[in-house]
Amino acid sequence: MPEQSPAVTYANYLKLEELLALQQPRSSGPEHDEMLFIIIHQVYELWFKELLHELDRAKALLEKDESHRAQHTLKRILTILKVMVAQLDILETMTPLEFLSFRQRLEAASGFQSDQFRQVEFVLGLKSEGAIQRFPEGGRARTALERRLHESTLWDAFLQYLSREGYRPGDLQLTLINIYKNDPKNAELCERLVDLDEGIQEWRYRHMKMVERTIGARPGTGGSAGAAYLRETVGRPPIFPDLWAIRSQL
């Protein structure tokens, strides 16, 4: 007789025992707020994982010309992004002194080293070889980033989809203006991409303000100038510049 596997329960399906053992404060005591700090970062990493899962899906649907379903997936991505931005409110209940009580325990660790955040940037077209070198060769993070460096981006998938919709390569911005004026279905898709772009910018801005109020002008644990570096990332060009450039001509 084959051995019977145990019945599925809430706890074993979700691997609750493992999950709940993963929050391990480094401060002795431990400092009360370090639990929040760990949990919120872990939750963000899970949302990054889900975002990547959905971004890959949106790309695959565009590649199959299933634009309606791609839009549906983009809507889900945007809803997740909104939740991610809103979660920063929780961290803002932590005062600078509460954070300083355990900050030195983080040593050089920083969200700057989140490979999944870089993966999201890569899928969206913000690729950088430099970002890859920071991760150990052969490891999960490095392998995933190397793969995404060579993979097509969401924008590539969108442009190829447009060409199959009959839009011939030419002046891209003129094509986009034409879509906005005469092709409501694809104009909607463009709008979802603008939403996505704005959502990422919103996250960068809110994270930067949260950092400013928590550590002021101190440098970051990751070795950057801190809020000054983050302000520079907020000021960078948008992800889909063509969709912004045409707006004064619509």
- Give Cβ neighbours of residue 76 (< 8 Å, ≥ 6 apart): 54
91 binding ligand HEM? (CB under 6 A): yes
The smaller minimum CB distance to ligand HEM, of residues 117 and 205, is found at: 117
**What type of residue sits at position 63?**
E
214 binding ligand HEM? (CB under 6 A): yes
Q: Which of 25, 30, 125, 222 binds ligand HEM (CB under 6 A)?
A: 222
199 binding ligand HEM? (CB under 6 A): no
Task: Provide the total of helices (H) and of strands (E) in the chain, helices listed first.
Answer: 14, 0
Q: Which of 223, 228, 247, 249 binds ligand HEM (CB under 6 A)?
A: 223
Q: Which of 31, 44, 74, 186 binds ligand HEM (CB under 6 A)?
A: 44
The smaller minimum CB distance to ligand HEM, of residues 114 and 160, is found at: 114
109 to 138, contacts with ligand HEM by CB under 6 A? 110-112, 114, 117
Determine the Cα–Cα distance for residues 97 and 215; give it in Å rounded to an integer. Answer: 9
Q: What b-and-e string marks burial along 199-226, b requiring 16 or more CB atoms within 10 Å of the CB?
A: bbebbbebbbbbbeebbeeeebbeeeeb
Q: Which stretch binds ligand HEM (CB under 6 A): 59-67, 172-180, 183-191, 227-235?
A: 227-235
230 binding ligand HEM? (CB under 6 A): yes
In whole angstroms, the minimum distance from the beta carbon of 130 to ligand HEM comes to 11
The number of beta carbons lying within 10 Å of the beta carbon of residue 160 is 14
Q: What b-and-e string marks burial along 36-64, b requiring 16 or more CB atoms within 10 Å of the CB?
A: bbbeeeeebeebbeebbebbebbbebbee
Task: Single out the residue of 160, 178, 207 nearest to residue 63, CA to CA.
Answer: 160
Site residues for ligand HEM per CB under 6 A: 40-41, 44, 91, 99, 110-112, 114, 117, 207, 211, 214-215, 220-224, 226, 229-230, 233
